[in-house]
């Protein structure tokens, strides 16, 4: 899958699940469960112990799922993640060196922002998407709506505080996709090996995205 195809996949699915687990086995369990629910994308957060090994493990064991790295804060870490097989790089803040590195390597990059100035600065660097995080704490979907009014051509991913109650609102406000962590992959479900629970949540969130998109397009 090339960069354009991956960008299209993220746009189409509209959800980037953030996996924060404590082992490769937990990550594999989560990836398989959300994939069955219709989300063939996983972002391994670098707070996970030996995250690059987890990425490599997933790349080898769930080839149908696109694996990326989240929370990337420097070029050295970014390179290690790409060497492990990551197909996209995401961060919770704006680091121009990481964006430049990703562009040079030809991989999808999703820098994190919060303020209008950061959104503008990030977009000028030429990334694929711009993540707005944390959304819930600064006005939720109304904040995304305000940013979209200022930057109508910037594909915004809303993250931080996205749950079953707010997912539709963020899409209706103009977010192209949602970054979702524990609300999609509950730690308890990982611990108790409740695959069906995670799969059902994945189906539910994809349904929220689909119905909100249909509503906003007048369908």
> Full-prediction pTM beyond 0.85?
yes
pLDDT digits (tens, 9 = 90+) for 103-123: 999 999 999 999 999 999 999
Mean pLDDT of 125-130: 98
Q: Model confidence over 54-91: pLDDT tens digits?
A: 999 999 999 999 999 999 999 999 999 999 999 999 99
| pLDDT one-digit tens code per residue, 19-51 | 999 899 999 999 999 999 999 999 999 988 899
Structural domains of the chain in order of their starting residue, each with its CATH number: 3-216 (3.20.20.70)
pLDDT at 219: 57
Predicted confidence band at 159 (pLDDT cuts at 50, 70, 90)? very high
Is 140 strand, coil or helix? Answer: coil
Average pLDDT over residues 182-205: 98
* Confidence (pLDDT) at 30: 97
In this structure, what is the dihedral angle of CA atoms 91, 42, 10, 165, given to the nearest 10 degrees?
-90
Strand 130-132 relative to strand 66-70: parallel, antiparallel, unpaired? Answer: unpaired
Beta bridge partners of 113: 132
- CA separation for the pair 173, 189 (Å, rounded): 30
């Amino acid at each position: 899958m090339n960069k354009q195809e991956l960008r299209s996949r993220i746009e189409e699915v509209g959800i980037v699940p953030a996996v924060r687990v404590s082992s490769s086995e937990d990550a594999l369990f989560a990836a398989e469960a959300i994939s069955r629910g219709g989300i063939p994308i996983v972002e391994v957060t670098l707070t996970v112990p030996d995250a690059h090994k987890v990425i490599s493990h997933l790349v080898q064991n769930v080839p149908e799922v696109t694996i990326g790295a989240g929370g990337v804060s420097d070029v050295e870490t970014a390179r290690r993640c790409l060497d492990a097989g990551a197909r996209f790089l995401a961060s919770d803040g704006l680091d121009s060196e990481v964006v430049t590195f990703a562009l040079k390597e030809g991989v999808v990059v999703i820098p994190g922002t919060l303020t209008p100035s950061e959104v503008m600065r990030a977009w000028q660097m030429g990334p694929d998407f711009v993540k707005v995080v944390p959304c819930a704490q600064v006005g939720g979907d109304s904040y995304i709506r305000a940013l979209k009014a200022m930057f109508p051509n910037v594909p915004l991913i809303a993250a931080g505080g996205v749950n079953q109650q707010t997912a539709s609102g963020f899409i209706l406000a103009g977010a192209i996709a949602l970054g979702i962590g524990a609300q999609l992959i509950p730690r308890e479900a990982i611990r108790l090996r409740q695959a069906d629970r995670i799969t059902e949540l994945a189906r539910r969130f994809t349904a929220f995205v689909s119905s909100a998109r249909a509503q906003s397009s007048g369908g």
